[in-house]
Amino acid sequence: MPNIKSYLNNNSITSSGSVRADDDLKSMFVGTVMRKIKSRTWKKHRYFRLQEDCMTIWYKSKKAANAHSTFSVGDVEAVREGHQSEVLLSIADEFPPDRCFTLVFRGRRGNLDLVAESAGEAQSWIKGIRKLIDNLENMGQREKLDQWICDWFKKADKNRDGQMNFKEVRDLLKMMNVDMNEHHALRLFTMADKSQSGTLEDDEFVLFYKMLTQREDVLRVFQEYSGNGQKLTLQDLKDFLREEQLHEDGIQQYALKLIERYEPSDTARMLQAMTFDGFLMYLTSPEGSIFNPSMVELYQDMTQPLCHYFISSSHNTYLLEDQIRGHSSVEGYIRALKRGCRCVEVDCWDGPNGEPIVYHGHTFTSKIFFKDVVTVLGNYAFKASQYPVILSIENHCSVEQQKLMAQHLTQILGDKLLKSPLDGKILISLPSPEDLKGKILLKGKKIGGLEDGMNGVVDDPLMGEVSDEEETAEIDDDHHRNDSIRHRVKKSKQHLSKELSDCVVYCKSVHFSGFKHSQIHSKFYEISSFTESKARKHIREAAEFVLHNVRQLSRVYPSGLRTDSSNFNPQDMWNAGCQIVALNFQTAGVEMDQNDGLFSQNGHCGYILKPAFMRKIDERFDPENPQNDGYKPLSLSIQVISGQQLPKVNMKEGSIIDPLVRVEIHGVPLDQAKQETRYIDNNGFNPVWYDTLQFTIHVPELALVRFVVEDYDKTSKNDFVGQFTLPFTCIQPGYRHIHLLSKDGTSITPSSLFVNVRITNVN
């Protein structure tokens, strides 16, 4: 535990004294006046300063008397130098790039665009914030907890005297989501006040915190395996790992590694033993997490054909808000690509001065240039993953502007753009993600087939005609109105430039005419797109759909009626083997939690290998009736033991949450299930349940498990507190912590759940 006074004076970041001597951070402590930019016309001066905790940046208007804002360095994902945002690009003629920078926040929060008074000041902030971010990312669990304790101390120490009286302690408990009667609070306060001064300072506050956060639930497990109740011998620890955590191979080496990594006591380490503090550190570490660490890394075979993978995919990627009036931005592409998305979408229309533009056609959404999207794609496509990116083009442009699109793609992307079959050969199936590493594939209409291009056969060297089967036709289907218009849209022909057509290799967009037709006539490089409603109709023939998706790619996208950018349930589409299930990444909710959960494995690379029974032509997997030859259902038992430091959802003074935990199974229809614990009155700080929830999992390979914490409300809808979603196959059995995420999918340290998971065969 930290020494509060020295921690507040020096901070964990500065314990070596290096920060006080760091010129960049020194100038941030002093503060700087910079311009905050929102548009070409909105440019306001703000005074920015780094707070003493080295974690908080404070800023205020020169005019406003007391009004100010703050944000945490922990919320900043990256710092971009120069004109690297649309806002800063719009004022590039006014301010040079060496004075400009952008703070990019985690989740869905908007960027902060700033202009410093000089290049030197800009560099101080750019380098300083990057140092603070690096330091945070390198912090261990213990340091993060130290930081968290000190943050609370500072919040509660209202008069800033480095001491805490009983009133401040009572206020602190409410802030921390603890409802404790005054008598018990006073008893803890008095026990911690060793100096009997009537205030807590330094180590006394740490003692108070330790009494407050005593983990009786973990202590109970520790003492069950400890011979003397004080430590776990190497044999004790091995017994625990074998019997509870179900470790099998190399258990001696693993136990020694855990002691070396997590045991804080030098004496215990020398004795090859683990104290309670070390045991708790292990259980709250990635190795004690419910998510198997070996599956966080890249672990799957990446040499199968592209159609054998689920592919992380975004719909109308350029939109940051709704589908009617929302803001279009290249930022949508940056955010999606950095999250590991591997299929992004552009809607292209004729723009002014011959330049194609991207926006949601026939709506009031704002417009961006196609060439800017391509530039961002070139810069960000392979930052999160080296595996291929598919650029799905919905093309509404004239032939002239299509030629310019092809030119932009070729010139800006260069060798990254795949323009011909690999090794100049026509294969009989799609290449693999491994084969296509570092490549961008265009998905769109193509004149003729792949074979024609290889044989030099093209009917018209300038342009070709293709049926217009784009999303506009599908949207009309969703509206179920005006049949004559719908018919006309479907029959219309679109002129396609040869230059743009030649950029399409392995993802030729074609109309879907039924499973029988597809089986006889379809080529492996052809891909069909379905609205969610069309896909659901085809799911009635689920086994046929699964088989279709063994041979070629399918893309499913949200209905045109979802003008609010809501999402459909992607699980239904994955159950049918659909690879490219495009979601509105800008909209938080259970659907994006499922998407994030599925793609959180395999190195976050955006490709997940489908189960073996969805990759074989001779298998007849039917998600509606999954009891096939290899059918082996499993029993999942989850004992929800406790919660730790759950965040407040209602900031009203005195408001404390009544938490409950719901466990949801998302999978084939037989597996869809949810169960809840009871709710705990007025305790978000350390609620204890010991409630056991039981599930039967019929198709484990397709199941996702979602843990949701809610604030119970008997008169209205429960409030969301936090969640964590992971594939069933990535679960580590035993005593595990679940580190909760916010609605945006960002970490809410140190909020967690403690559970005991058991997975057994169903007899």
**In this predicted model, what pLDDT tens digit does every residue of 243-270 receive, in sequence order?**
999 998 899 999 999 999 999 899 999 9
Q: Does the pLDDT of residue 465 top 70, yes or no? A: no
Task: Classify the phi-psi angles of 87: left when phi > 0, otherwise alpha if psi is within -120 to 50, otherwise beta.
Answer: alpha
Q: Does the pLDDT of residue 13 top 50, yes or no? A: no
* pLDDT at position 21: 61
For 119-168, write each residue's pLDDT tens digit: 999 999 999 999 998 888 777 666 766 677 777 777 777 777 778 888 88
Residue 741 phi/psi, 5-degree rounding, is -120, 155
Q: Does the pLDDT of residue 605 top 90, yes or no? A: yes
pLDDT mean over 15-29: 69
Q: Does the pLDDT of residue 103 top 90, yes or no? A: yes
CA distances from 163 to 145, 196, 199, 427, 439 (A): 20, 13, 6, 73, 59
194 DSSP β-pair partners: none
pLDDT mean over 605-616: 96
Place of tokens 């179920």: 480
Residue 679 marked ligand-binding: no
For 572-592, write each residue's pLDDT tens digit: 999 999 999 999 999 999 999
Q: Binning pLDDT at 50, 70 and 90, where does residue 427 land?
A: confident
Q: Is 576 helix (H, G, I), strand (E, B) or coil?
A: coil
Residue 574 marked ligand-binding: no
Q: Does the pLDDT of residue 195 top 60, yes or no? A: yes
CATH code: domain 216-288 is 1.10.238.10
- Rg of the chain's alpha carbons, rounded to an integer? 29
Q: Does the pLDDT of residue 318 top 80, yes or no? A: yes
Q: Are domains 142-213 and 216-288 of this chain identical in fold?
A: yes
Residue 230 marked ligand-binding: no
Q: Which CATH number fits domain 634-761: 2.60.40.150, 3.40.50.2000, 2.40.10.10, 2.40.50.90?
A: 2.60.40.150
Q: What is the number of other CB atoms lying within 10 angstroms of the CB of residue 118?
A: 11
Residue 158 marked ligand-binding: no
Map out the domains of the chain as residue ranges: 4-138, 142-213, 216-288, 306-451+463-470+492-614, 634-761
Residue 56 marked ligand-binding: yes
More confident residue, 71 or 108: 71
* pLDDT at position 759: 97
CA 262/CA 274 separation, integer angstroms: 8
* pLDDT at position 31: 92
Biggest CA–CA distance in the chain, Å, is 94
Residue 215 marked ligand-binding: no
pLDDT mean over 515-542: 94
Residue 48 marked ligand-binding: yes
Q: Does the pLDDT of residue 468 top 80, yes or no? A: no
Among 83, 315, 396, 666, which one carries the catalytic annotation?
Answer: 315
pLDDT mean over 96-116: 92
Q: How many CA atoms lie within 13 A of 588 on its CB side?
A: 12
pLDDT mean over 630-649: 91
Q: Binning pLDDT at 50, 70 and 90, where does residue 319 land?
A: confident
Q: Does the pLDDT of residue 183 top 50, yes or no? A: yes
Q: Does the pLDDT of residue 7 top 60, yes or no? A: no
Q: What percent of the chain has pLDDT over 90?
A: 62
* Cα angle, residue 150 at apex, residues 149 and 153 outer, rounded to 5°: 90
Preceding amide of 97 cis, omega within 30: no
CATH code: domain 306-451+463-470+492-614 is 3.20.20.190
Residue 42 marked ligand-binding: yes
360 is catalytic: yes
CA 707 and chain centroid, separation: 15
* pLDDT at position 67: 67
CA 605/CA 388 separation, integer angstroms: 10
Q: State the fold for domain 142-213.
A: Recoverin; domain 1 (1.10.238)
Residues near 575 by beta carbon (within 8 Å), at least 6 away in sequence: 539, 542, 623, 667, 668, 669, 702
Q: Which of 69-83, 133-147, 267-281, 422-436 has the highest mean pLDDT?
A: 267-281
* pLDDT at position 12: 41
Q: Which ranges of 138-202 would DSSP assign to H, the alpha helix?
A: 141-156, 166-175, 182-192
Place of tokens 């029988």: 516
For 739-763, write each residue's pLDDT tens digit: 999 998 888 878 999 999 999 998 7
Q: Is 502 helix (H, G, I), strand (E, B) or coil?
A: helix
644 DSSP β-pair partners: 752
Of 685, 646, 649, nearest in space to 188 by CA: 685
* pLDDT at position 652: 64
Q: How many CA atoms lie within 13 A of 608 on its CB side?
A: 31
CA 138/CA 13 separation, integer angstroms: 10
CA 209/CA 206 separation, integer angstroms: 5
Residue 392 marked ligand-binding: no
Structure tokens at 387: 């595996």
In contact, 360 and 319? CB cutoff 8 Å: yes
For 684-731, write each residue's pLDDT tens digit: 888 999 999 999 999 999 999 999 999 998 888 999 999 999 999 999
* pLDDT at position 485: 37
Q: For strand 580-583 and strand 309-314, is the pairing parallel, antiparallel, or unpaired?
A: parallel
Q: How many CA atoms lie within 13 A of 274 on its CB side?
A: 31
Give the burial string for 174-184 (b: 16+ CB within 10 Å, else e).
Answer: bebbbebeeee
Q: Binning pLDDT at 50, 70 and 90, where does residue 49 land?
A: very high
pLDDT mean over 313-341: 88
Amino acid at 703: A
* pLDDT at position 659: 95
Q: What percent of the chain has pLDDT over 70?
A: 88
For 212-237, write each residue's pLDDT tens digit: 778 999 999 999 999 888 999 999 99
Supply the pTM of this predicted model: 0.86
Q: Does the pLDDT of residue 651 top 80, yes or no? A: no
315 is catalytic: yes
DSSP string, 521-567: H--TTEEEEEEHHHHHHHHTTHHHHHHHHHHSEEEEE--TT-TT---
Q: Does the pLDDT of residue 285 top 70, yes or no? A: yes
Residues near 587 by beta carbon (within 8 Å), at least 6 away in sequence: 564, 565, 566, 567
CA 681/CA 722 separation, integer angstroms: 17
Residue 42 phi/psi, 5-degree rounding, is -105, 100
CA 513/CA 534 separation, integer angstroms: 12
Residue 242 marked ligand-binding: no
Place of tokens 């069933």: 728
CA 735/CA 57 separation, integer angstroms: 38
Among 360, 698, 737, 739, which one carries the catalytic annotation?
Answer: 360
Residue 347 marked ligand-binding: yes
* pLDDT at position 688: 95
Q: Binning pLDDT at 50, 70 and 90, where does residue 314 land?
A: very high
In contact, 105 and 77? CB cutoff 8 Å: yes
Q: Does the pLDDT of residue 496 top 90, yes or no? A: yes
Residues near 674 by beta carbon (within 8 Å), at least 6 away in sequence: 662, 663, 664, 665
* pLDDT at position 453: 60
Residue 712 marked ligand-binding: yes
pLDDT mean over 548-568: 93
Task: Classify the phi-psi angles of 340: left when phi > 0, otherwise alpha if psi is within -120 to 50, otherwise beta.
Answer: left
* pLDDT at position 10: 45
Q: Does the pLDDT of residue 15 top 60, yes or no? A: no
Residue 336 phi/psi, 5-degree rounding, is -65, -45
Q: For strand 580-583 and strand 553-557, is the pairing parallel, antiparallel, or unpaired?
A: parallel
Structure tokens at 292: 């198997």
Question: In whole numbers, what is the pLDDT of the chain averaged over residues?
Answer: 87
Q: State the fold for domain 4-138.
A: PH-domain like (2.30.29)
Q: Does the pLDDT of residue 486 top 80, yes or no? A: no
In contact, 342 and 606? CB cutoff 8 Å: yes
pLDDT mean over 455-466: 52
Residue 63 marked ligand-binding: yes
* Cα angle, residue 363 at apex, residues 359 and 365 outer, rounded to 5°: 50
In contact, 421 and 427? CB cutoff 8 Å: yes
* pLDDT at position 692: 98
Residue 120 phi/psi, 5-degree rounding, is -65, -45
* pLDDT at position 454: 59
